[in-house]
Structure 1
Amino acid sequence: MILTVKDLFNLNRNLSEIKVLAGFNGLDRQITNVQVMEAPDGVYWVKEGELLISTGFGFRNTPEEISEALKILIENKAAGLVIKIGRFIKKIPQRALDIAEKSNFPLLEFPVKLGYRDITHPIMEKLMNQENYEFKMLDQLRSSLLQTCYNKNNIEDTLAVISCYTNNSIVIFDSYFNILKYNISEKNREDLSIIFKISNYIKMDYKKLINNSSSIKINDNFYNFIIFPLINADEIIGYLCTFSLHEINKLDKLVLNQSVPYVIISLLSKKKNRQDSLLIRNDFFKNLILGNYVSKSIIKSGIDYFNLEENLNRMIMIVYIENSTCKIDYQAYKNKLLTYINNNPMPNSYEEIIFNNNEGIFLLNLEKDLDISNIQANYSKWSDDFLKSFKFLYKRISILIGFGDIYDNLEKVNKSYKEAILSIKLGPKIMKDKSFIYHYNDFKLYHILFEFRNHPLLENIFEGSAKKLIDYDKSNNAQLIKTLALFYQNNSNVQKTAKDLFIHRNTLYSRLKKISLLTAIDPTSSEGSLLLQLSLKLMDIYELYKNK
């Protein structure tokens, strides 16, 4: 049967709505076949007499390329181009209209409400039988999907191509039943509300999908669903679902079934790209936190590239595993740590997690109006709960948690990291309560003393006070250092200190007098108290770093 472009308008009611944009004098061109195209370079394979149909998806970013496509179609003696206006492209460029008009080449617009099948089916019905039509459509689908794979291979393009070959709505879910992408059919915009319920159907039939490794059909009295599991290496990585208010026909099922491998490829590609991006981002934060970047321009480039907010309040938290004789499966430990955090959110969100040897480093985002005491209390409570849970799982290892100071510039997070490390190193030696949770705010004075520990003035203070008391205790089996430390810990309260030491008040007075005689410093005066407390902290520093 001979079919011309002009005959399209009389095939059915839908096709009568097609508009002629240009090339009216070429409507007598004969149609020998129908081709569907979404990749712009598909025009090169169009043969003489073929009518090309496009939603405009391939031209969505470069509508000016329609002009070049028309030149090739005209050269190949195609029957015409039918293109959808409004969804992916808003209007046909004037240059394209002029080219079509000058060459008497039919350039047609089909209504937004129509899909590919609304046009291709009545045409192919005239040119061939139903079986050949289905074969033709599926062959074109495979070609379009292959072209998508050769190009960007992203899930958005893959879904757009599939949507062109079915009039039904399509949704793609990940393996956790979260919606990745969806396309709602033009005829059923009310379908939007149902996509949020589909994951429940998948969950209910999850075992059936695993066991059968094939599609399942569901009817909920309103909608008809078909769900295809997306399986890679015996693992479900997602689900492809189509649904409609009407019965889903054989060709729609075939379209979805043929599309499954290409959706899997797109998901794996997306996952790899995301993993690569996350690795690059993670690597940037790791180098930033560990202080490996010397140039500020490199840091600024990273901030711009990852679109990070530079001036936020941030703090480093380190979950640290002390050296242990028992063997630890660090990957299993990391997984348990991340699972715990997901199930037990921190007081504030974390921006990044870095694993560096036996350190789990968290970059925390904090609110602008800071109440440092509240922040410290909240994180101490969270850390305490965390340690209780993990000590139950890892009885033979010791986990410490350290916090750095808060900074309002991303460039300074390395300082917070160093402070968190210092807190973990100092905390167990200095704090006697075995809390395993250490805040840098409690060790700022120690940090200053550590930085200047080799200064002659500090060495003289230590030598003339705490060192003399240490030597006396060793020679006389005395407890002057313990007495002095507890005296200041109790805010110079004589009665409480004597009670804690299980001695009489007069004995305590005698010890304080002895300290004064040995050091020539009055431990009860304000100036003497300052010097002696300073010497006790220097003692902790020197003992910790073995410098004395």
Structure 2
Amino acid sequence: MGRQNGVTIKDVLKMNCMEKCKLIAGFKGVDNTVSRVNIMADPDILNWVHEGELLLTTAYSFRKDSIEIQKKLIKECSRKGLAGIGIKIHPYLKRLSSEVIDLANTLNFPIIDLYYDIPFSDIMTPIFKEIFNKEALLLQRLDRIHEELMNAMLSGASIESIANVIHKNLNNPVLIKLEFPNKQIMKFGDLDKYIKELLINNMRSFYNSSSFNYHEKKFTETTELISGKYIKRVILPIVVKNTIYGHIFSWAIDTPFSGFDLSILETASTTIALEILKKLSVSEVENRYKSEYLEDLISLDKKRKKKALERASFFNLGLDNIYVVSIINLINSHMGKDKLSTDEVQQTISGIIRAIKDLMNKLDIKGFVSSKTDSIRILLFDSDGERLTMKIGQIRQNIKKVLDNKITNLEYRAGFGRPYKGLENVYKSYTDAIKAIHAGEILGESKITSFNELGIYKLLCNDNLKDEMEIFYNETLKILVEYDKNKSTELVKTLESYFKYNGNLKQMSKALFTHYNTVLYRIQRIKEITGMDLDNAEDRLNLQIALKIKPILDV
């Protein structure tokens, strides 16, 4: 579907000026739109023609041109998107070559045999007049549709009402897929249920295609094979703040598309974008209030905290509920052209927040989500501790999918704090979540870490213990680490293997790719260098704790 509005080749052939003219090739191109008319005086005009033009010429030059040159002309006209070509064949030729006719039929490029006695001006003037009249009529219709869409939006009508306007004026099935608000609106009329399912699957294939670029902000037209028929599909993105929030799909099931249809879709896309912008503005204000409230709630300032507790009912938070805080930190670690701008990071955060809200609604989890700079904070609560623990497990299982799906060119780390009873204790869960992220970075096992699953790291990640841990490490493991460094040995690795395989020397030997006697020798050397005996329970515990302290101290 070209941008041009005008009249079709079929309409042109019905005009009085074309009464003695006839279509001789390219019959399947009769729905091509003629947006203007041009005359070819010499072949160089093809350098200045435009898509949608109907080219008028004579077969005078055809008498000396070879068949290949004639075919080249038809190919070039088709390639440039001309609506068709009208040729005065008589009296210069008896007929066009069958090769030229066959080529035009293959390309679905209309060739009209113009009556030799009619002046070109008598053809151009009526067609231009018809195009002008139709353009004026279409502009009136488009103005009416624009007014209808704007009135719907200003009166608070839903996006579904806007979809009804599109469907009514397009006379074709319409599907609107939105990321925010997360919904899918279908206006398929009285189509067969089977065809409806095929159209929905066709929309899904667009998003699942390997060639799909979600950041492509332009109109797309393709030909799709649906139920054994090739059907035109048009897709228009809905763009707000330079970000795509959805797409409008339509298929030429009932009537062919025209440039007017594209104008309708563009107007509808802009109208929906304005509606989304309004919702985004409300959401941003809401996020700011929630973020400020959470800052007060976790503050060590007693006045701020008291103020937050007094405003708890405003956010439907009970003072005696059980609360859990989760934090997601985004790291913009890429460099150069892959590094995201501040706006792109904020757009990513907004998308993640919307997806998490949808997930919470789906799982029936109470709470709210807010953001601050490159961090997302989630406050979850319930009056029942067991139920909350179950809900936390469910959201943890799904939140990784959300993050992996929404995040590109960014890294992330997430942590879940412990549940605490009472709104005044939310700061404790917040602190736990920060510690969980820190421990997750050290352990490197998962991008999402729960404080409850840290085991002894709950103690070791306490900042107040850092000095004591460093002293403990120096008195136990440091000498062995330095020995390995100076002698290029693997005694620390052997010690780690010892605890991993519960002292089973055979399994250690296999894992270390080392002879059994070598492992025995290394164990003896560990005892001699550290002065600790792995057969002694207290020495064994001290060495195991020292190994866990090592990555925390980053030594």
Question: What TM-score bracket applies, with the shorter chain setting the length?
Answer: 0.3 to 0.5
What is the TM-score with the length of structure 2 in the denominator?
0.45
TM-score, normalization by structure 1? 0.46
